[in-house]
Structure 1
Amino acid sequence: MLSPHAHDWPGDVVALASGTTLMARGEQMSHVLHLDAGRATLGLRAPGGFAQRMGVIEGPCWLNATCAVLGVPALVDAVADTDVAVRRVPLPAFQATLAALPEAARSVLHDVAQGHRQQAELAISRLAKDAEARCAEWLLRHAEPAPETPGTLAVMLNQRKRLIAAQLGIAPETFSRVLRQLRERSLISGSGRVLNLVDLNGLRALAGA
């Protein structure tokens, strides 16, 4: 349905260096991108690198054709691992080609794209849960009797958050985000160097203990 031959599609081919952001999650697209040659990493970026990596793709392949079919922004970021060649098909031209397809073909293509999107959303959800589970496990492992509240447990943040995040295999921004989410769910409290473990059973369930 979408021609595997990139040269069948109108658009310009650009050469981009390794490290170039090819696709950014949440941004509305103006072009549909085909990776003619080279390799790219997909995942969720944070300042300084990827917070979560979802995989590596190699050209030739489409980058955001699913988004164009569904009319939605990208769910993930894509960054070139090598020097790459990317064909940029203007979105109106891509949509015109889709509109020219038989109705049955458009229906099948939409269903396939929707299934792909749902798989990507599930993968992202699992990545987020993995980060929460790792943080919950770390908090339980480092719990000590709270110095100011007898009978409760707390974690003293004696290291910089960046170092703790590195131990957990996540970005510092991800670690801060997960701690905020745990506070919002009343699993922990405190925003300084002392984190109080409010709901031990909830943390154990999150950690899979």
Structure 2
Amino acid sequence: MPLPAAALPLAASPRSAAPGELLAARFAVPQQALYLHSGRVVAGLLQRGSLRHRLVEFEAPCWLDAASALLDQPSPCDWVADTPVALLAMPAAALRHWHAGLPEAAARLLRDMALAQRRQAEATLALLVQDAEARCAQWLLQHARRDDDGRVGIALQQRKRTIAAQLGMAPETFSRVLRQLRERGLVLQSGAQLLLPDPAGLQQIAAA
């Protein structure tokens, strides 16, 4: 059940938005904390008026980027209504005032959680805007392990479709990039095992 306005810590003003409407912009410090009362919102990166990179979807009821409003920092991504939505908008300054009145331990916990949420969003969005080859190379390096014999590799424990979804690309794209890396001698595949004979070469691609 959606949270009733009376249960919110601050006075809230109702607001509605149509599909495709920008609710909060990347790099702008939000002046309101938005609570999604009904509908669905997508966070991602707008390019030429289109949400090309979809970071995550939010279904009501939930808060939308309250972390940026609380910390008085720019939003790390764009927030767009994916369906007709009903919102409750609370002044960001009032949210910060309410936060300052919390017990110290609770206030610190909430602030640390807000910082962690923003860092995670920034890291995920940075990964999404990389080209497909760089994303794959970075994923391979992050999941690689060195065996006792010195070989660097990965035991694939997830389906390629699942890995592709984590990287924000189609399964066909993930398979194509792996094939290109194999052709360049950067990846060797043996069943469910991927060997990385040239981690330094992958690092150069990941840094591109």
Tell me the TM-score normalised to structure 1 length: 0.60
Matches within 5 A, 1:102-181: 102-131=103-132, 133=134
Q: Please name the residue that 1:11 is paired with.
A: 12
What does 1:1-209 correspond to in 2, within 5 Å?
6-7=5-6, 8=8, 9-131=10-132, 133=134, 205-206=204-205
Q: CA 1:117/1:6 → structure 2, altered by over 3 Å: closer, same or farther? A: farther
Q: Residues 6 and 34 of structure 1 are in contact (CA less than 8 Å); yes or no, is this contact kept in structure 2?
A: no
Corresponding pairs, count:
144
The answer on whether the counterparts of 1:75 and 1:121 sit within 8 Å (CA) in structure 2 is yes
For residues 89 and 116 of structure 1, the distance between their equivalents in structure 2, rounded to whole angstroms, comes to: 20
1:207 to partner: Cα distance: 7.2
Deviations 1:153-184 (A, max 9, x none): xxxxxxxxxxxxxxxx7xxxxxxxxxxxxxxx
Shift of 1:205: 4.5
- Cα drift, residue 68 of structure 1: 1.9
Cα distance in 1 between the residues matched to 2:18 and 2:33: 19
Structure 1 gap segments, 5+ residues each: 135-168, 170-200
Aligned to 2:174: none
Q: Please state whether the residue corresponding to 1:53 is helix, strand or coil.
A: strand
- Give the TM-score normalised by structure 2: 0.60
Amino acid in structure 1 at the alignment position of 2:205: L
Identity of aligned residues (%): 39
Pair 89,204 (structure 1): closer, same or farther in 2 beyond 3 Å: closer
Q: Which amino acid aligns with 1:206?
A: I
How many Å separate the matches in 2 of 1:109 and 1:82? 29
Is 2:5–2:12's contact at 8 Å kept on the other side of the alignment? no
Which aligned runs of 4 or more in structure 1 are off by greater than 3 angstroms? Answer: 4-7, 130-134, 201-205
Q: Give the partner amino acid of 1:106.
A: A
Give the number of the structure whose alpha-carbon radius of gyration is greater: 1
Q: For residues 55 and 49 of structure 1, what CA distance do their matches in structure 2 show? A: 15
Cα 1:205–1:88 shift into 2, 3 Å: same
| Cα pair 1:6 1:36 within 8 Å, conserved | no
Q: C-alpha deviations, 1:40-99, integer Å up to 9, x for none?
A: 111000114122111211111111211122221100111111110011101222112111
Tell me the secondary structure at the aligned position of residue 89 of structure 2. strand
